[in-house]
Chains A and B, each alone.
Chain A
């Protein structure tokens, strides 16, 4: 019993220190990550289908809001990067280093806007050092929950059910944090609180599935049945994790993807510090909760023995 608390406390302190270090690294040492841009032309809109011309008009209208920003426009197979001068339904004007360029809306393919709506471009990007580790841990803890679910169904050992449940509780915590930080960043970078974009949508579904797990558990009377249903549903719900993780790499998405080699020096160090810190925090939360649940179970056990 004591060893669990000791380990959890060590993990908690370590996680806290490393996460703080990552914060300081991110704000005072590391540069601004060069991702997290908007790729409006490639928005996935599955319920309806639009021809390229119609889309281009939308694009230009949308771009008009970003005069003065750095943009990259792909048109007619080529890509032009520079400061946006103006945009309307017929043409887009960009000031590049080698002079002004006018692009016909009809040739328009995709546009990328760098920076954010606020006067301090890219400041919002700093949340990356917190948001990404949290999101990663939410997937990892969910994987543990699924692992314990399989183990439980194989052995019918109540211990694995408890681990499955506690893992799901930790998943809920991290999913909540991911959602909260994600929404803040979305507002800063995209100018909207929410966008039905593949990663956001699949992650929202994931959140609902984790909540549904607890709804299911709370509505089953019999303890063993509750455990079995919980385990089965964890496995079914886990199928959404790889979908959510890989979707930004499979279909065009606004959500940024970290590419290998995209991070270097101070940025990489801060990011790794944040990741290790968050793993330690996740482990600490898991162990602390586990200790509490085990204590409850021992009380229950003592009660049962007294009844006999």
Chain B
């Protein structure tokens, strides 16, 4: 069965990627949304003048953009499955339920990372020009992005599978997702902030944050993996 599961997992991932490359719906909407967020940031910070160090708030702003953008993508990825009853077709095929979870979460992770990879340089270009950056520690940021996105994609896929069956999908997803994401968000912002500030102290802060994120990922992925079957079976 392991071979079959692997084949099914690949097929589902390939299907999501082919559909996305064709429509570019998720990347476009998430990417543009995160650009719009940058504009809102500029307006929000416009009265602060230059009296603050942008490095202090950069990590928080980045993850704020990611968390809201990811909700947009999560919702869409499951609306696709729900629209014409495709999720039912998947459930009818001889596939173990966790395979569906890992395939959907994997797809969401890939798209989320793509959007983050696009947003990061734009953010740096718009907000961090002229600040002293320690490139050695900046190079650690992708690690934080990956670890954080794993948790977002995993828990988000589970929650979106629920919220897609509710009235008021978007609001319900936000209501469930943001409080549940709090520990991960805090860890991810801490880690990213440490990496942006740099230096030995910054790097040690980075690893403390990463510890939180990875711990949260492990607990939440296990819980989501165990609970997904109940969600799709209801």
Contact = CB atoms under 8 A, between A and B. Distances in A.
A and B touch in the complex (CB under 8 A): yes
Interface of A: 46-49, 153, 201-202, 205, 208-209, 211-212, 215-216, 219-222, 224-225, 228-229, 231-233, 235-237, 239-240, 243
Contacts of A47: 56-57, 59-60, 189-190, 193
A20 to B, nearest CB: 35
B interface, how many residues as a size bin? 35 or more
Interface of B: 56-57, 59-60, 155, 158, 162-163, 165-168, 171-172, 175-176, 178-180, 182-183, 186, 189-190, 193-194, 197, 201-202, 205, 209, 219-220, 223-224, 227, 230-231, 233-234
Contacts of A222: 234
B183 A232 contact: no
Contacts of B60: 47
Nearest to A51: B201
A239 B172 contact: no
B230 A232 contact: yes
B194 A49 contact: yes
B227 A236 contact: yes
B193 A49 contact: yes
A216 B223 contact: no
A49 B202 contact: yes
A216 B165 CA distance: 10
A46 B60 CA distance: 10
A49 B197 contact: yes
Contacts of A216: 162-163, 166, 172, 175-176
B234 A239 contact: no
B172 A219 contact: yes
9 contacts: A49-B56, A49-B193, A216-B162, A229-B166, A229-B234, A232-B158, A232-B227, A236-B220, A236-B224
Task: Rank and list the top 8 A-B pairs by shortest CB-CB distance, nearest first.
Answer: A228-B234, A219-B166, A208-B179, A48-B56, A225-B234, A212-B175, A46-B190, A205-B182
A202 B212 CA distance: 14
A212 to B, nearest CB: 5
Contacts of B166: 216, 219-220, 229
A232 B60 CA distance: 30
A239 B227 CA distance: 14
Nearest to A243: B183
B227 A215 contact: no
Nearest to B180: A236
A166 B186 CA distance: 31
A233 B56 CA distance: 34
Nearest to B216: A239
